[in-house]
Structure 1
Amino acid sequence: MGQTAPVSAFLWITVVSLAAWCWLLLCQGFFWRTDVRLPLRREPEVWPSVCVVVPARDEAAVLPASLPSLLAQDYPGRAEVFLVDDGSTDGTGELARALSERHGGLPLTVGSPGEPPVGWTGKLWAVRHGIALARAREPEYLLLTDADIAHAPDSLRELVAAARGGGFDVVSQMARLRVESRWERLVVPAFVYFFAQLYPFRWIGRPGSRTAAAAGGCVLLRAGMAEKARIPDAIRHAVIDDVALARAVKGAGGRVWLGLADRVDSVRPYPRLGDLWRMVSRSAYAQLRHSPPLLLGTVAGLALVYLVPPVAVLAGAAAGSAPVAGVGALAWAVMAGTYLPMLRYYRQPLWLAPLLPYTAFLYLLMTVDSAVQHYRGRGAAWKGRTYARPDAVPDEG
């Protein structure tokens, strides 16, 4: 009798976990599908001018694999690249000029904005400087792309055609991240999977939907909308700047599209767990708006959804409870099944799917660590800079 009550309680917890997975499977915008790619493309009769803005801080290691791909864009209209050297100490600006001289292609301008003032993140201060330089060319579109992103030769052409064809103010592609090391295989596909779960791509592009997100590595933004939404000034303190940008655009009445990329790739390596840990933990608590209640809710939710099913299988087998083990196994199977498309997209072995609870546990620890680092005064640290949370930043005016 003493064991019956705990087993019965855990069975109900496991049933709730299974119910959560059924809801996620059917009611969360089919987030687990990977078929959201560039929408209808319509090539314009006259191609609009585009300025490419690349913020770069200490990117000499990756620039040779990324910048030439931008310079080599096969774009029928007028296009120009502006690389903004954000206080680099590794010769990023000089290397960019050398690559331009060596490879030719689109015109390149290298600028430097100086240190960001209080209330600005370094990246957005660099983006602001790049947009200011580009404004003299009066472009119709701005392509905001990171220094570690390599583009196929027709990338800019496809993005502009998609924006024109769908009437979007923002067309953003989630670049395919590098997946080569053991830890990259375990963590990276799950990173995109979790992002899509939070921001279902189908919902983002739906007219009237409030869901807003973009992928900062590749954002084509209509210049008129950038001015209307006051980008980047309106989001100057945002650590998760891509989501903030999309929200600002939707708040200004614009339309946003986000999907997975086919030939837009990140060349930045994350060979060790520590590299991936820093990538996630630097912004995880900011994603939760630095809220302890949201942190507790997130930890509880991750445990219920991702950890309960495998624990139920093991505990049910140990206690001889077929219902607990069976319900846990079914929830685990649904979970693994939703992860398979993302593994296929990243060309990874499908046997990694049942390991998703382990990866989710790592993300749980990264999120908690993000909060710990925040309260130690080291939160949102990136490349030598630590940013205060938005409510600690004095507002202009």
Structure 2
Amino acid sequence: MSPLSWIATGSLATWVWLLLGQGFFWRTDQRLPAPSQAPETPAESPGDPWPRVVMVVPARDEAEVLPLSLPSLLAQDYPGPAEVILVDDGSTDGTGRLAEELARGRTGLPLAVVRPGEPEPGWTGKLWALRHGIALARAREPEFLLLTDADIAHEPDSLRLLVAAATGHRLDLVSQMARLRVASGWERLIVPAFVYFFCQLYPFRWINRRRPLATAAAGGCVLLRADTAERAGVPEVIRQAVIDDVSLAKAVRRAGGRVWLGLADRVDSIRPYPDLADLWRMVARSAYAQLRHNPPALLGTVAGLALVYLAPPVTLAAGLLTGDGPAAWAGGAAWAVMTGTYLPMLRYYRQPPWLAPLLPYTALLYLLMTVDSAVRHYRGQGAAWKGRTYARPEAAPDR
């Protein structure tokens, strides 16, 4: 066999293993579990069938999306006591005032807006906002906290279903990966792949096992037991984390809590990423932090992406041009398996199947974004988000 054939065969073997041995990451059937008891009485205490919930929304310069997201929280059809706390994290676009205007005169859940000021040293902005929101929420003595981003819109029964799942299955953290917006051409090319890669890195089936093999959450929608959060030291224990959702899930699990993560059907992100530059910044700001700023891990990631995603089409084309049959066959087979595993995610995002064979091109973009993330880190630019830069942010600490 030629070297080209060995590369193609190695890629094919990797894809067969990913297909069968990586927690069936490519399947999209991990959805919010139905409660094991009737939704009308989901709580453990018969005297208070629906537990008190406080929703905490960190918001920085979110005036563009707030008119669509905040009313969806205030209009939650939840039978128990619930309220919303929006934490205005140093916004310059009138986010806090807009939130108050949106709630004024509206029937629904009560809203409180707080402004904690600039973060203290050692805190990332979102977690600083969550710290103040959670502290204020604890004064209400809730059983659950719903941590949800300002760009997330919820269907009216979203909170009810989350609480029913958590109480019915005795879960400490229930997280749904919101369905991201897919409207522009670049969003169609990159966004479903973003979720696909996340599922490959953190297979939901492994996370949701009683004896989990992985731990993660999706920060846009996290229902968290208040006593578990306090026992885990959240958010203080993860105050420097840029990838705060994974860090939060690990902190909960270290405290003995049960974690569940799945794809959302009734929770949507409305934040637009119309251009490649917008999507590039979204990925690059945290990609190297995910690798713990480790150069060998970066090199391994680049080599792995090249072998797994780029080698199949390259070896197929080269094999056909040079008459190397084994290389062309193995490369084509690897590309076919890759394409097949991507189709369920495209269906979930209601996208045409012809996008599936383009996954190698999308992977190349992600490879370049990851390298750019490392370059930004070593230039001292670090993770940048809405006017703040964290030169050396932490990823998701194991302890």
| Superposition TM-score, scaled by structure 2 size | 0.95
Alpha-carbon distance between aligned partners in 1 of 2:72 and 2:106, rounded to the nearest angstrom: 10
Distance 2:287 2:107 in 1: 40
Q: Does 1:369 align with 2:372?
A: yes
The C-alpha deviation readout for 1:346-369, integer Å capped at 9, x for no partner, is: 000000000000000000000000
Q: For residue 40 of structure 1, report the CA deviation from its aligned partner.
A: 2.6
How do residues 383-394 of structure 1 correspond to structure 2 at under 5 angstroms? 383-390=386-393
- Tell me the equivalent position of 2:14: 20
Q: C-alpha offsets along residues 233-280 of structure 1, whole Å, 9 cap, x if unaligned?
A: 000000000000000001111100000000100000000000000000
Q: 1:32 maps to what in 2? A: 26
Matching residue of 1:213: 216
SS at 2:73 equivalent: helix
1:382 and 2:385 correspond: yes
CA distance in structure 2 between the aligned counterparts of 1:131 and 1:71, rounded to whole angstroms:
18
1: distance between equivalents of 2:195 and 2:72? 24
Kept after mapping to 1: 8 A contact 2:380/2:392: no
1:126 partnered with 2:129: yes
2:59 pairs with 56, 64, 80, which one?
A: 56
Report the Cα distance in structure 1 between the residues aligned to 2:371 and 2:101, rounded to whole angstroms: 43
Select the residue among 114, 117, 125 that pairs with 2:117: 114
The 1-side partners of 2:260 and 2:105 are apart by: 35
Q: Give distance in 1, aligned partners of 2:106 and 2:13.
A: 55
**Partner of 2:70: helix, strand, or coil?**
helix
- SS in structure 2 at match of 1:119: coil
Whole-angstrom distance in 2 between the partners of 1:324 and 1:313? 6
Per the TM alignment, residue 210 of structure 1 is displaced from its structure 2 partner at its CA by: 4.1
1:192 aligns with 195
Match of 2:144?
141
* Distance of 2:107 and 2:95 partners within structure 1: 17
Please point out which of 333, 338, 343 is paired with 2:341: 338
Which of 198, 204, 208 lines up with 2:207 in the alignment?
204
Task: Please state how far the C-alpha of 1:155 moved relative to its aligned partner.
Answer: 0.2
Which string of whole-angstrom CA distances, capped at 9 and with x for unpartnered residues, describes residues 181-235 of structure 1? 0000000000000000000001111112141100000000000000000000000
User: Helix, strand or coil for the counterpart of 1:237?
Assistant: coil
C-alpha spacing 1:391/1:246, structure 2 compared with 1 (3 Å): closer
Instruction: Quote the Cα distance in structure 2 between the aligned partners of 1:194 and 1:202.
Output: 15
Question: What residue is the counterpart of 1:395 in the other structure?
Answer: none
1:141-163 deviation per Cα after TM superposition (whole angstroms, max 9, x unaligned):
00000000000000000000000
For residue 247 of structure 1, the aligned residue among 229, 247, 250 is 250
Q: Secondary structure at the match of 2:29?
A: coil
1:83: how far off? 0.1
Distance 2:393 2:371 in 1: 20
Partner-residue secondary structure (3-state), 1:159: helix
Q: Deviations over 1:17-61 (max 9, x none)?
A: 000000000000000000100113232251000000000000000
1:300 matched to 2:303? The reply is: yes
CA-to-partner distance for each residue in 1:81-105, whole Å, 9 max, x for gaps? 0000000000000000000014331
The CA distance in 2 between the partners of 1:280 and 1:153, in whole Å, is 30
The offset of 1:391, in angstroms, is 6.9
Deviation at 1:167, TM superposition (A): 1.1
Aligned with residue 318 of structure 1, among 317, 321, 339: 321
* Paired residue secondary structure (1:304): helix
SS in 2 for 1:308: helix
Match of 1:11 in 2: 5
Out of 259, 263, 267, the position equivalent to 2:266 is 263
Q: Kindly tell me: are residues 12 and 99 of structure 1, through their superposed partners in 2, closer, same or farther at Cα, counting changes over 3 Å?
A: same
1:171 is aligned to 2:174: yes
How far 1:174 moved relative to its partner?
A: 0.3
Counterpart among 85, 93, 96 of residue 96 in structure 2: 93
Give the structure 2 partner of residue 3 of structure 1.
none
Residues 273-316 of structure 1: per-residue CA shift (max 9 Å, x gap): 00000000000000000000000000000000000000011100
AA at the equivalent of 1:370? S
Residue 105 of structure 1: aligned partner: 108
The answer to whether the aligner puts 1:78 opposite 2:81 as a matched pair is: yes
Query: SS where residue 2 of structure 2 aligns?
Result: helix
In structure 2, distance between residues paired with 1:391 and 1:330: 39
Letter in 1 for 2:65: V
2:5–2:324 Cα contact (<8 Å) kept? no
TM value normalised by structure 1: 0.96
Q: How many residues end up aligned between the 2 structures?
A: 386
Q: Would the alpha carbon gap of residues 134 and 184 (structure 1) be closer, same or farther in structure 2, given more than 3 Å must change?
A: same
Q: Give the Cα separation in 1 of the matches to 2:117 and 2:393.
A: 22
Letter in 1 for 2:290: Q
Deviation of the 1:165 alpha carbon: 1.2
